[in-house]
């Protein structure tokens, strides 16, 4: 019993917070502001408890926890905490604050189970748990039509991908007779039906990660959903799926390595190029970030294609950095958008004139996304490329390296708008709330330090 | 000497600049930091030669090696040989001059100096790193400050130029990373980024043949390798004065140094394989650059195109693959860095007063700005290779080294390169004549001469130029052992 409590500690703490929020909601005894502070405090505690963990398996290997998995979970915890800080301006005014966090934490709970899953059944269940609440969250700008539209698109596409996933799982069970991650590798023999099943499984991952050609929902949902939800989708959801994707490919489908390697090569190139080309044309910052996040997934795929331990560590490291850099960008966009309602790139022209600090944070985060030193993003990208290059084709490496240049171009477009362009009507000085400030400080510190403090990567790589 | 000082001091200076309260403090901190750095660089030469004189024969001196990312075998490995010491001295001289020349920058002074110092730190780090990953890190650090400097404080079509420069340099560095990874994985089980280890282990000829072009072209873009030179004229002409000085004086040298230290030294067989390509391309750059300069009416464009021509000599020297030519290439890097920085500084001084850079709109400025015009003369004479200035020594060494190759192809290339000197003389003399001599325009009669800070900047650079021109031996002695090691590697000893 106590073993169960310890191994599932992270999940139990999150469940506890959800129930606490539920009771607070029922009691109706708290103002938004103090409730938000309480939630932030609880989430901070949640990050703190994530540093301790115990390894082990539960329920006949359905649920696993290792040091690596605990780290992955805590990266997600940290991301949720940062979102609660950075979205404070929008959240404070929202009349359904507890519900929002209940949904978000349910999704987080699903992701925790997802990463820990050791069985296709719990994998499917937790994937559902991690995506359905997000669709509800996408609808949280209650007066906006675009928000409902985003939710609709989200729920339809995720239902579609779940259907495909379920079909794939049933085919796998049909051909191998098992759904346990531990037993599957021995049972896979590469027959046509198994490869078909694998393709279905892969497709559902592609939906969640918005790998081209399954990326079409991304931009619309990102644009329509509230920014806090968009950042949750683009960082936390993506990160968790990327983690389990690696486990699935390396541990479960290792006998099919040649098959998935070639799929990864093609999809990675398609994803990088499509994301880049579309990002070039975007004016709305949220759409822009949607396509740029598609490109980032392309780079993650490049790293995953390496197929070694270095790839696993590079992806975890990259997601950690991505949490800091992408949330910082979304944070600035969210602060500006909730203060002025403006969120296109041309609105940010001459932003530096009145908002020096926000501009530097934004620039730092964009440079980190573009992979420019000395930010952590440089190390993240480089290690992905080093990991992927180990057994890559030369042309694949060259294409990936050149895509870095294209992505720099559009990140610089935003930097240029902020620092260089002229604007008769620049955004006024924005006062930043305390929790937003704290969030931005944590993000900036992460962007600067995670790369330069080399023990972070060293720790991840020895897991 | 602890080489970490070379990175630490600019870092401290940059932090100091950020924390300072007013413009006056910013300037003083930036100047103090860069002047101290110059003292450090001179001390480094002295200590370096002292060690050598004491008989320390190690290839690299003052080495330090810290494990950074052990699981990927990335180490923070730094050390210097004569070539890097020469480049560090060049950087320190140009940085001090650049800081002095920008004394009057009023727009966002703090940010301006911060970026300048950051750029300088990238260059120092690049020249001392002996680990390819760290070297690449510093190479890329220097790109973004350039972009912001040009885009924010530049003139003309600055956004376009800044974009073009950043993207072309990034494309160059992405080719470089492909080449570096080729070496990293090309060594079988023992994966290493360490320059010394890679040189000792040797890289298989097949890998060299495949990846040498990536590295050479990648670094070549930084140093205006034809046909990837197109960022040079736009970037230089749009940049603020100090930006142009840093670009031409330091940043283009990063490429030359990389071509030499990384591409040629680590992949000698690759260099031999492609040396005729390098010679052809650099000869084209030399001649094309010179003729294109003749057509320019704008002083900055003129100097930018002449930089393409002069940097061609660097690549030509490397491509010739003789000890003398490689020594000459490094000397040309130092010489051109100083000379072109001086040129851009003078152009900046003139522009600040006349508000034009068009040659035909000026005239007779010698009467009102005697000091500035004298400096312009010196820069011009150095550029056209007059004995007594550094340009002559460097180009002469390159030619002598090139001539050591006895076959017709190398000789013809050398002759073509020599011919460019005549063209250089034409455009330099014509431009100086039009700017300094002749009748003076009414509006220009009341212009003031250079102020103390500009005079000091020019004097520092001129001292460097003359010191090399009159007594080239110290620089030659400094560079030669390093060049010899590279040459031994090429000839397979």
Does B470 touch chain A if contact means CB atoms closer than 8 Å? Answer: no
On the 0-12 / 13-18 / 19+ scale of CB atoms within 10 A, B426 is middle
Distance from CA of B431 to the nearest CA of A (A): 33
CA distance B143 to B150: 11
Contact between A374 and B137 using a beta-carbon 8 Å cutoff: yes
Structure tokens at B479: 């560079």
Distance from CA of A301 to the nearest CA of B (A): 18
Residue in A closest to B75 by C-alpha: A454
Check residue A324 and give its pLDDT: 93
Chain B residues close to A397, C-beta within 8 Å: 178, 181
Chain A residues close to B151, C-beta within 8 Å: 416, 419-420
Q: HSE-up of A415 (CA within 13 Å, CB side)? A: 28
Chain B residues close to A419, C-beta within 8 Å: 148, 151-152
B140, B167, B181 member nearest A389 (Cβ): B181
Q: How does strand B61-69 pair with strand B74-80?
A: antiparallel
CA-to-CA dists, residue A428 to A334, A343, A351, A424, A441, angstroms:
15, 14, 8, 11, 21
Give me the mean pLDDT over the B58-84 stretch.
87
| pLDDT tens column, B227-282 | 888 888 888 888 888 888 898 888 899 999 999 999 999 988 888 889 889 999 99
A246: domain range? 2-461
B211: domain range? 4-490
Rounded percentage of chain A residues whose pLDDT exceeds 70: 100
Distance from CA of A221 to the nearest CA of B (A): 31
- Provide the Cα torsion A186, A187, A189, A193; round to 10°: -150
Structure tokens at B150: 């040009």
Contact B349, B450 (CB under 8 A): yes
Residue A354, SS3 per DSSP: coil
Does A71 touch chain B if contact means CB atoms closer than 8 Å? Answer: no
Nearest to A371 by CA among A407, A395, A402: A407
Long-range (24+ apart) CB contacts under 8 A made by B139-142 are B139/B173, B139/B176, B139/B222, B139/B254, B139/B258, B140/A372, B140/A373, B140/A378, B140/B170, B140/B173, B141/A373, B141/A374, B142/B251, B142/B254
Q: Higher confidence at residue A294 or residue A421?
A: A294
Q: How does strand A63-65 pair with strand B74-80?
A: unpaired
Does A457 touch chain B if contact means CB atoms closer than 8 Å? Answer: yes
Place of tokens 């959800």: A18
CA distance A123 to A111: 10
Give me the mean pLDDT over the A164-183 stretch.
91
B137, B174, B185 member nearest A401 (Cβ): B174
Tell whether the model's pLDDT for residue A80 goes beyond 90. Answer: yes
Check residue B493 and give its pLDDT: 62
The torsion angles phi and psi of A343, rounded to 5 degrees, stand at -145, 30
Contact between B71 and A462 using a beta-carbon 8 Å cutoff: yes
Contact B375, B453 (CB under 8 A): no
Place of tokens 């150095």: B382
Does A386 touch chain B if contact means CB atoms closer than 8 Å? Answer: yes
Which of A352, A376, A389 best probes binding to B when mutated, by most B CB atoms within 10 angstroms?
A389
Give me the mean pLDDT over the A366-390 stretch.
90
Nearest to B412 by CA among B400, B403, B421, B420: B403
Structure tokens at B31: 């100047």
Nearest to A439 by CA among A81, A100, A98: A81
Contact A83, A230 (CB under 8 A): no
Chain A residues close to B141, C-beta within 8 Å: 373-374
Structure tokens at B471: 């007594």
Chain A residues close to B72, C-beta within 8 Å: 310, 383, 386, 461
Place of tokens 């040396």: B275
Q: Where are the beta strands (DSSP E) in A147-306?
A: none
Structure tokens at A88: 């404070």
Does A61 touch chain B if contact means CB atoms closer than 8 Å? Answer: no
Give me the mean pLDDT over the B461-490 stretch.
87
Cis peptide bond upstream of A374, omega within 30: yes
Give me the mean pLDDT over the B477-487 stretch.
87
Q: HSE-up of A250 (CA within 13 Å, CB side)? A: 19
Distance from CA of A386 to the nearest CA of B (A): 7
Contact between A389 and B69 using a beta-carbon 8 Å cutoff: no
Structure tokens at A23: 């009771």
Does A315 touch chain B if contact means CB atoms closer than 8 Å? Answer: no
Give me the mean pLDDT over the A35-48 stretch.
89
Q: What is the CA radius of gyration of chain A?
A: 21
Question: Whats the size of chain A, residue-wise?
Answer: 463
Distance from CA of A93 to the nearest CA of B (A): 36
CA distance A268 to A274: 10
Contact between B69 and A457 using a beta-carbon 8 Å cutoff: yes
Distance from CA of B110 to the nearest CA of A (A): 12
Tell whether the model's pLDDT for residue B94 goes beyond 80. Answer: yes
Contact A207, A158 (CB under 8 A): yes
Tell whether the model's pLDDT for residue A325 goes beyond 90. Answer: yes
Contact A82, A323 (CB under 8 A): yes
Q: Look at the alpha carbons of A389, A394, A399, A403 in this order and tell me if their dihedral is positive or negative.
A: positive
CA-to-CA dists, residue B24 to A70, B36, B92, angstroms:
52, 18, 22
Nearest to B179 by CA among B160, B155, B203: B203
Chain A residues close to B136, C-beta within 8 Å: 382
Does A30 touch chain B if contact means CB atoms closer than 8 Å? Answer: no
B69, B137, B148 member nearest A419 (Cβ): B148
CA distance A397 to A389: 6
Element (H, E) at B193: none
Contact between A389 and B185 using a beta-carbon 8 Å cutoff: yes
Element (H, E) at A56: strand A56-58
CA distance A210 to A222: 12
Give chain B's domain count. Answer: 1
Check residue A1 and give its pLDDT: 62
B72, B171, B181 member nearest A310 (Cβ): B72
First CA to last CA distance, chain A: 27
Does B450 touch chain A if contact means CB atoms closer than 8 Å? Answer: no
Crossing angle between the packed helical segments B323-354 and B452-470, to the nearest 10 degrees: 160
Rounded (5°) CA angle A400-A447-B111: 100
- Provide the Cα torsion A297, A299, A305, A307; round to 10°: -90
CA-to-CA dists, residue A357 to A337, A354, A364, A443, B302, angstroms:
16, 9, 11, 13, 39
- Provide the Cα torsion A293, A294, A299, A300; round to 10°: 80
Mark which residues 387-416 of A lie under 8 Å from B by CB. Answer: 389-390, 394, 397-398, 401-402, 404-405, 408-409, 412, 415-416
Give me the mean pLDDT over the B463-474 stretch.
88
Structure tokens at A20: 């606490």
CA distance A239 to A72: 9
Q: HSE-up of A233 (CA within 13 Å, CB side)? A: 34
Measure CA B99 to chain center: 17
CA distance A459 to A251: 21
Nearest to A170 by CA among A137, A203, A196: A196
CA-to-CA dists, residue A233 to A111, A150, B283, angstroms:
12, 12, 55
Tell whether the model's pLDDT for residue B135 goes beyond 90. Answer: yes
- Beta-carbon contacts of B193 under 8 Å, excluding residues fewer than 6 positions away, are B73, B74, B75, B131, B132, B133, B134, B180, B184
B438: left (phi over 0), alpha (psi -120 to 50) or beta: left
Contact between A405 and B144 using a beta-carbon 8 Å cutoff: no
Does A420 touch chain B if contact means CB atoms closer than 8 Å? Answer: yes
CA distance A135 to A225: 9
Contact between A458 and B71 using a beta-carbon 8 Å cutoff: yes
On the 0-12 / 13-18 / 19+ scale of CB atoms within 10 A, A191 is exposed
Nearest to B76 by CA among B13, B173, B7, B140: B7
Confidence of residue B144 (pLDDT cuts 50, 70, 90): confident
Contact between B167 and A389 using a beta-carbon 8 Å cutoff: no
Contact between A419 and B152 using a beta-carbon 8 Å cutoff: yes
Does B210 touch chain A if contact means CB atoms closer than 8 Å? Answer: yes
Give me the mean pLDDT over the B303-327 stretch.
90
Lowest average pLDDT, out of A143-152, A269-278, B35-44, goes to A143-152
| pLDDT tens column, B45-60 | 899 888 888 888 788 8
Count other C-beta atoms under 10 Å from residue B147's C-beta.
28
Tell whether the model's pLDDT for residue A117 goes beyond 70. Answer: yes
In sequence order, which ranges of A281-308 are alpha helices (DSSP H)? 285-304
Contact A303, A383 (CB under 8 A): yes
CA distance B306 to B294: 9
B151, B167, B182 member nearest A408 (Cβ): B167
Check residue B125 and give its pLDDT: 92
B69, B144, B152 member nearest A420 (Cβ): B152
User: For chain B, what percentages of helix, strand and coil (3-state, to nearest 5) are there?
Assistant: 80, 5, 15
Number of A–B residue contacts, CB under 8 Å: 80
Contact between B174 and A462 using a beta-carbon 8 Å cutoff: no
Check residue B354 and give its pLDDT: 84
Give chain A's domain count. Answer: 1
CA distance A324 to A316: 13
Chain A residues close to B71, C-beta within 8 Å: 310, 313, 457-458, 461-462
Check residue A239 and give its pLDDT: 93
Give me the mean pLDDT over the B95-122 stretch.
88
Residue in A closest to B165 by C-alpha: A409
Tell whether the model's pLDDT for residue B367 goes beyond 70. Answer: yes
Distance from CA of A247 to the nearest CA of B (A): 21
Contact between B174 and A373 using a beta-carbon 8 Å cutoff: no
CA distance A102 to A340: 28
Chain B residues close to A458, C-beta within 8 Å: 69-71
């Amino acid at each position: 019993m106590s073993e169960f409590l310890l191994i599932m500690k992270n999940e139990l703490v999150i469940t506890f917070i959800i129930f606490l929020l539920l009771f607070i909601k029922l009691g109706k005894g708290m103002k938004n502001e103090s409730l938000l502070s309480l939630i932030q405090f609880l989430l901070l505690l949640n990050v703190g408890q994530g540093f301790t963990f115990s390894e082990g398996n539960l329920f006949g290997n359905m649920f696993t926890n290792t040091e690596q998995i605990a780290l992955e979970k805590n990266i997600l915890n940290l991301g949720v905490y940062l979102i609660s800080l950075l979205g404070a301006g929008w959240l404070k005014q929202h009349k359904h604050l507890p519900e929002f966090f209940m949904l978000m934490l349910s999704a987080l709970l699903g992701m925790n189970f997802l990463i820990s899953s050791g069985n296709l059944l719990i994998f499917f269940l937790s994937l559902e748990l991690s995506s359905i609440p997000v669709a509800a969250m996408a609808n949280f700008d209650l007066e906006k039509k675009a928000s409902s539209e985003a939710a609709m698109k989200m729920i339809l596409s995720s239902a579609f991908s779940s259907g495909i996933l379920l079909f794939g799982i049933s085919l796998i069970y049909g051909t191998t007779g098992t759904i346990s991650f531990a037993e599957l590798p021995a049972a896979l023999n590469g027959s046509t039906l198994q490869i078909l099943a694998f393709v279905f499984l892969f497709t559902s991952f592609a939906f969640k990660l918005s790998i081209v050609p399954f990326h079409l929902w991304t931009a619309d949902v990102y644009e329509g959903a509230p920014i806090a939800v968009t950042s949750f989708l683009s960082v936390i959801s993506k990160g968790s799926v990327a983690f389990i994707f690696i486990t699935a490919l390396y541990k479960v489908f290792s006998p099919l390595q040649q098959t998935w390697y070639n799929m990864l090569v093609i999809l990675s190139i398609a994803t990088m190029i499509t994301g880049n080309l579309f990002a070039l044309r975007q004016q709305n910052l949220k759409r822009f970030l949607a396509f740029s996040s598609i490109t980032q997934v392309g780079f993650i795929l490049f790293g995953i294609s390496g197929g070694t331990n270095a790839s696993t560590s590079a992806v975890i490291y990259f997601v950690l950095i991505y949490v800091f850099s992408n949330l910082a960008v979304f944070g600035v966009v969210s602060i500006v958008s909730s203060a002025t309602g403006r969120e296109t790139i041309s609105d940010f022209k001459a932003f530096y004139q009145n908002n020096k600090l926000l501009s530097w944070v934004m620039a730092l985060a964009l440079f980190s996304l573009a992979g420019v030193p000395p930010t952590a993003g440089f190390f993240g990208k480089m290690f992905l490329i080093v990991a992927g290059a180990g057994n890559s084709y030369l042309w694949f490496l060259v294409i990936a390296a050149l895509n870095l240049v294209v992505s720099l171009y559009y990140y610089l477009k935003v930097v240029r708008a902020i620092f260089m362009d002229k604007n008769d009507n620049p955004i006024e000085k924005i006062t930043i709330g305390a929790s937003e400030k704290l969030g931005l400080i944590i993000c900036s510190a992460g962007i600067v330090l995670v790369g330069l403090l080399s023990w972070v990567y060293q720790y991840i790589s020895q897991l | 000497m602890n080489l970490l000082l070379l990175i630490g001091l600019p870092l401290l200076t940059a932090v100091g600049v950020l924390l300072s309260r007013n413009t006056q403090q910013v300037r003083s901190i930036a100047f103090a930091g860069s002047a101290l750095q110059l003292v450090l660089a001179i001390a480094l030469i002295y200590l370096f030669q002292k060690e050598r004189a004491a008989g320390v024969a190690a290839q690299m001196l003052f080495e330090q090696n810290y494990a950074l990312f052990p699981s990927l075998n990335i180490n923070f490995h730094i050390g210097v040989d004569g070539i890097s010491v020469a480049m560090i001295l060049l950087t320190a001289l140009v940085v001090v001059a650049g800081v002095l020349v920008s004394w009057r920058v009023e727009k966002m002074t703090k940010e301006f100096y911060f970026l300048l110092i950051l750029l300088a730190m990238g260059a120092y780090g690049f020249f001392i790193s002996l680990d390819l990953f760290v070297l690449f890190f510093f190479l890329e650090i220097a790109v973004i400050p350039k972009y912001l400097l040009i885009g924010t404080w530049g003139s003309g079509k600055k956004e376009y130029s800044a974009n073009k420069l950043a993207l072309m340099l990034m494309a160059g560095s992405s080719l470089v990373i492909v080449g570096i990874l080729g070496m990293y994985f090309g060594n079988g089980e023992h994966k290493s980024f360490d320059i010394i280890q890679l040189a000792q282990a040797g890289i298989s000829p097949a890998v060299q043949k495949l990846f040498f072009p990536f590295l050479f072209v990648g670094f070549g873009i930084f140093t205006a390798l034809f046909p990837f030179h197109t960022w040079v004229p736009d970037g230089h002409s749009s940049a603020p004065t100090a930006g142009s000085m840093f670009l031409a004086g330091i940043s283009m040298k990063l490429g030359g140094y990389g071509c030499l230290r990384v591409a040629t030294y680590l992949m000698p067989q690759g260099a031999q394989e492609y040396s005729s390509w390098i010679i052809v391309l650099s000869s084209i750059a030399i001649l094309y650059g010179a003729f294109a300069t003749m057509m320019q009416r704008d002083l900055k464009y003129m100097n930018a195109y002449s930089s393409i021509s002069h940097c061609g000599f660097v690549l030509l020297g490397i491509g010739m693959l003789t000890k003398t030519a490689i020594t000459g290439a490094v000397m040309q890097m130092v010489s051109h860095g100083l000379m072109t920085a001086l040129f851009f500084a003078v152009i900046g001084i003139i522009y600040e007063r006349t508000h034009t850079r068009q040659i035909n709109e000026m005239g007779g400025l010698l009467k009102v700005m005697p000091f500035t015009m004298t400096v312009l003369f010196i820069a011009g004479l150095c550029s056209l290779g007059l004995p007594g200035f550094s340009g002559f020594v460097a180009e002469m060494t390159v030619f002598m080294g090139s001539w050591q190759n006895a076959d017709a192809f190398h000789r013809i290339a050398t002759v073509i390169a020599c011919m460019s000197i005549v063209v250089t003389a034409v455009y330099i003399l014509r431009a100086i004549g039009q700017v300094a001599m002749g009748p003076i325009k009414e509006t220009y009669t009341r212009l003031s001469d250079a102020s103390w800070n500009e005079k000091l900047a020019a004097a520092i650079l001129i001292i460097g130029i003359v010191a090399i021109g009159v007594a080239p031996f110290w620089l030659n002695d400094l560079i030669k052992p390093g060049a010899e090691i590279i040459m031994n590697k090429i000839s397979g000893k």
